[in-house]
Homo-oligomer: A and B are copies of this chain.
């Protein structure tokens, strides 16, 4: 029995600086009717991602996803159950992922939009792992961490790896995937407690709170020979420090720039000449360009989850009314691992 109404999260004003809960409103709508080629999905899990922040501004970077209009419903990866299908290949009961998140029900076209190549309407194999993991370690967070290490940074056995935001959804997986491949990993995180978690639970060789320290001095002390690979989830001062501690031919995977997401003006590294002096490579990427790696990633990561080698951190909020709070907490660094809303 499907109810006649559902709730969705809309943007009601553009954040002036940091995002506030009151920038959003939860609105009740009549249930959508799927058109031909669409399925009606009852969403059960919502992925809460830092990248959403940029789409709340009036302009997004060129070539990036467009801004969410004021008054418009938010979007993002979600998982749900097909309750009605007018698209071939899908039947009621199918568990699917798609990009029409932040709403309890969605009419999803079978061949519709994606988020830069990721999140096409896809059936998920519920036997592999808890289904929410397809939004985390077996989904875009896992693929981002995996592609950053394996393809973008071309990780080698002997590499020393530094991961920033190492207690975050992508960072925590990058730490563990690299560690499980035998690499020495340094993690930085936003509190002493998170740093301890990265070291003691996620298995980093060392981890520390980046606040009030000289990043270069601490890294020099921990790994005097320098760093080969830096997985940059942060930008700003972290990237500047990385340019100083990277060894010749070091590689940076530019995953995100969380420091700049929440209304803080981004700061560029003033020492980019280091990249010339030591033949460094900085490579930005969008996970949607690397969906060809998803099966390989899932095989490797699912095996580690199954044998207990990989720890899955999650911060789960309950109910669509908690989604604004989940977004705010995630952007302020108050969540651990993958931030999810169970709808």
Q: Which residues of A does B touch, CB under 8 Å?
A: 54, 60-64, 235, 239-240, 244, 247-248, 254-257, 260, 265-286, 289
Cβ–Cβ < 8 Å partners of A265 in chain B? 270
Cβ–Cβ < 8 Å partners of A284 in chain B? 272-281
Closest 4 pairs (CB-CB, A-B):
A268-B268, A275-B284, A61-B277, A64-B277
Q: Is the CB of B278 within 8 A of A63?
A: yes
Selected from B240, B266, B272, B286, the residue in CB contact (under 8 A) with A279 is B286
Given A276-B256, A277-B63, A284-B281: A269 and B271 within 8 A (CB)? no
Instruction: Write 5 A-B pairs (CB below 8 A) sorted by A numbering.
Output: A63-B247, A268-B269, A272-B284, A279-B283, A280-B283
Q: Is the CB of A270 within 8 A of B273?
A: no
Q: Which residue of B lies closest to A252 (CB)?
A: B282
Q: In the complex, what distance in Å separates the CA atom of A277 from the CA atom of B256?
A: 9
Q: Is the CB of A273 within 8 A of B62?
A: no
Q: Is the CB of A276 within 8 A of B285?
A: yes
Given A62-B278, A278-B62: A260 and B283 within 8 A (CB)? no
Cβ–Cβ < 8 Å partners of A64 in chain B? 277-278
Q: Is the CB of A270 within 8 A of B267?
A: yes
The number of times this chain is found in the oligomer is 2
Cβ–Cβ < 8 Å partners of A274 in chain B? 61-62, 284
Task: Kindly name the residue among A244, A260, A272 whose own CB sees the greatest number of chain B CB atoms within 10 A.
Answer: A272
User: Could you tell me the distance in whole angstroms from the C-beta of A69 to the nearest C-beta in chain B?
Assistant: 19
Q: In the complex, what distance in Å separates the CA atom of A111 from the CA atom of B296?
A: 49
Cβ–Cβ < 8 Å partners of A269 in chain B? 268-269, 272
Q: Is the CB of A289 within 8 A of B278?
A: no
Cβ–Cβ < 8 Å partners of A283 in chain B? 275, 279-282
Q: Is the CB of A266 within 8 A of B256?
A: no
Q: Is the CB of B281 within 8 A of A272?
A: no
User: Could you tell me the distance in whole angstroms from the C-beta of A51 to the nearest C-beta in chain B?
Assistant: 9
User: Could you tell me the distance in whole angstroms from the C-beta of A60 to the nearest C-beta in chain B?
Assistant: 8
Q: In the complex, what distance in Å separates the CA atom of A248 from the CA atom of B267?
A: 22
Q: Which residue of B lies closest to A251 (CB)?
A: B283
Q: Is the CB of B257 within 8 A of A276?
A: yes
Q: In the complex, what distance in Å separates the CA atom of A280 from the CA atom of B239?
A: 16
User: Could you tell me the distance in whole angstroms from the C-beta of A169 to the nearest C-beta in chain B?
Assistant: 16
Q: Is the CB of A271 within 8 A of B279?
A: no
